[in-house]
Amino acid sequence: MSETVYILINEAMPGLIKIGRTNGDLAARIRQLFSTSLPLPFELFYACEVNDGDLVESRMHDAFDDHRVSKSREFFRLAPERAKAALSLAALREVTLDEGAEFETSEVKEEVEAAKRRARFKLSMIGVQPGSVLKLAMEPTITCVTVDTTNKVEFRGEVTSLSDAALQAVTGLGHEWPSVSGPWEWTINGKRLDDIRREIEEGAD
């Protein structure tokens, strides 16, 4: 019997993905993972049916083991596009969710959308000032310059967002990724913006 292997993302944990499997209802599994310890629910990035879910999940975990956050957890500090590219090789068919399937009520959905707005990354969160030079993590010769303290940068002569600039940059390097996380892809003083934010938030706890 086929099983579903999934890749989940969570705006409360930027830069991290969860790789897991289920032989039941995927939407129910995503709701189950939304515990009281998480401010935001997981979102489905990609899922597919495979012949041997246990084997495929194990191989995925082994392949990206050097990106694993903890040996006992299914979280990886990895671009979801990379995980999708690997998982799709074993796919029998892609599994999708009906719009809103992750949420049980409209009230929960409204709370989630509000929380997402609060969690949205801003350069001011980590003290980056306008005029700062950011470098692309995978190719530091590629740079952009911040233009405000939200998430706007100048890249290739145009003002755009951190994530859009990062997507243009990685696409130019030959990576066919549908989306990227700007705070994860850009660095300052040798550190990813997302890592700086995480250190600040952990220090505030």
Residue 101's pLDDT band (cuts 50, 70, 90): low
Residue where a domain terminates, one of 119, 149, 172: 119
Give yes or no: residues 35 and 136 share one domain: no
Q: Is the dihedral of CA 74, 79, 84, 89 positive or negative?
A: negative
pLDDT in the model for residue 178: 61
Q: How confident is the model at residue 103 (pLDDT cuts 50, 70, 90)?
A: very low
In a shared domain, residues 113 and 134: no
Angle (CA) 142 85 160, round 5°: 35
Examine the pLDDT at 204 and tell me if it is beyond 70. no
Same domain, 114 and 129: no
Q: Are residues 95 and 129 in the same domain?
A: no
Number of domains in the chain: 2
In this predicted model, what pLDDT tens digit does every residue of 18-73 receive, in sequence order? Answer: 999 999 889 888 888 876 556 678 889 999 999 999 999 999 999 999 888 877 78
Asked if residue 115 has pLDDT above 60, the reply is no
Reported confidence tier of residue 110, pLDDT bands at 50, 70, 90? low
**Co-location of 87 and 22 in the same domain:** yes
Structural domain that includes position 36: 3-119
- Are residue 24 and residue 93 in the same domain, yes or no? yes
Query: Which tokens sit at 55?
Result: 């084997």
Instruction: Give the separation between CA 58 and CA 41, rounded to whole angstroms.
Output: 24
Report the C-alpha gap between 58 and 38 in whole angstroms.
25
pLDDT tens, position by position, 70-88? 777 889 988 888 899 999 9
Task: Please give the DSSP secondary-structure letter assigned to residue 14.
Answer: T
Both 85 and 69 in one domain: the answer is: yes
Q: Please report, as a single letter, which amino acid is at residue 106.
A: S
Highest mean pLDDT among 8-17, 149-158, 163-172 belongs to: 149-158
Tell whether 103 and 32 lie within a shared domain. yes
Together in a domain, 101 and 134: no
Write down which residue in 89, 119, 149 finishes a domain: 119
Least confident of 63-72, 105-114, 149-158: 105-114
| Nearest Cα to Cα of residue 89 among 55, 66, 138 | 55
Single residue among 68, 99, 119 that ends a domain in this structure = 119
Same domain, 137 and 103: no
Q: Both 13 and 113 in a single domain?
A: yes
Together in a domain, 16 and 112: yes
